[in-house]
Structure 1
Amino acid sequence: MTKRVVIFASGGGSNFENLVRNSNDIGMEVIGLIVDKPNAFAINRAEQLKIPYSIFDRKEYKSRQDFESDILEKLSEMDVDYLILAGFMRILSTEFVDKYDRKIINIHPSLLPAFRGATAIYDAYMYGVKVSGVTIHYVDSGVDTGEIIAQKSLYIEDGESLDSFEEKIHQLEYDLYPATLKKLFKGDVRE
Structure 2
Amino acid sequence: MVLAAADGLFAESPAPKAVTMDDIAAAAGVGKGTLFRAFGSRDGLLDALFLSRAAPLRAELAREGSRVGPSVPPLDRVLAVLDELALFKLDNRHLAAAREQPGTRLLRSPHYVWTHETLVALIAPIGAEAAESAAYWAHVLLGALRVDLIDELLAAGRSGDAIRRDLEALARRLLDPAARPR
Which has a greater percent of strand? Answer: 1
Instruction: Please confirm whether the aligned pair reaches a TM-score higher than 0.5, indicating the same fold.
Output: no
Structure exhibiting the larger radius of gyration computed from Cα positions: 2
TM-score using structure 1 length? 0.31
Which has a greater percent of helix? Answer: 2
